[in-house]
Structure 1
Amino acid sequence: MFVSAVKPSIYRLLTGRSINSEEDALLAMEDLHNMGPQTVVISSSNLGSNGTIMSLASTVKNGCKEKFKIEFKLLPAIFVGTGDLFAACLMAWMQTDKKLQVALEKTLSTLQAVIKRTLTYAQEQAGPGNTPNSAQMELRLIHSKKDIENPNIIYKAVPL
């Protein structure tokens, strides 16, 4: 068995490199490609411009490389399970669409829809001026079924 795709967060890149810029991240992704995986996706990083998170994706097929990035708005809350949801959606869309760019766009659009719905619900449940508790912040997956199955693309991947 071999690994064809990896999805570390920026803090889990196991290359020994310091990651302080987009260029550093791309070099680390190249290091990972050299270890075997065809597809490497950094699900989230603090490398985006102010108030945004950056996701980076790279694939190598038949010697051809494709790299993409998406910056998306940082929401003012802590969510549990978003990494697992990201991985599940990315793998599902990679199997369905076979294109990393489309899979990344659909994955991040799904995640943003789910966490926005979750945050809205949690704030309503907590009430004005109160901080939502962890139970209120559980991802609203069932309520987001339509967004998971057919996401409205709100973020476009930029080729690098």
Structure 2
Amino acid sequence: MNNLIRATARCLRSGTAVYMPRQADGRLWSASGRRFLCSDVQKDLGEIVKKDKVVVFMKGTRAQPMCGFSNAVVQILRMHGVDDYADYNVLEDQDLRQGVKDFSNWPTIPQVYFNGEFVGGCDILLQMHQNGDLVDELKKLGIHSALLSAEKESK
């Protein structure tokens, strides 16, 4: 219930309309188990992806990924020593799950953002990791890759 109150207050403070999602037959969902959303979901997502240097929309959380692709993203970031990032569990909120797909025009989850810019999904992050581009992109964010340090130590 606290999440419902916070989300509604945030929408009202921002001056955007607040609506309650409807069921297929047009009836309103009950407040339990659902949350109010700002009508401007795209604006909300735009703000979310800019709040942190690295943002991941995933199935589950970094502590407990709920799919192999989300787990792979978590492991890649962990290998590079990226621990300070925002992770959002799209399984907890179907509106977020669909909203982020619409926002990025990318059909799959997980989705990774650097400094508010969409990077891609697991396949893109894995490719960047394999070809060394991820080290360079992290450097642009002011994040020193742990793999770069490990490489220097082995020489």
Normalization by structure 2: what TM-score? Answer: 0.28
More helix by share: 2
Normalization by structure 1: what TM-score? Answer: 0.27
Q: Which has the larger radius of gyration?
A: 2
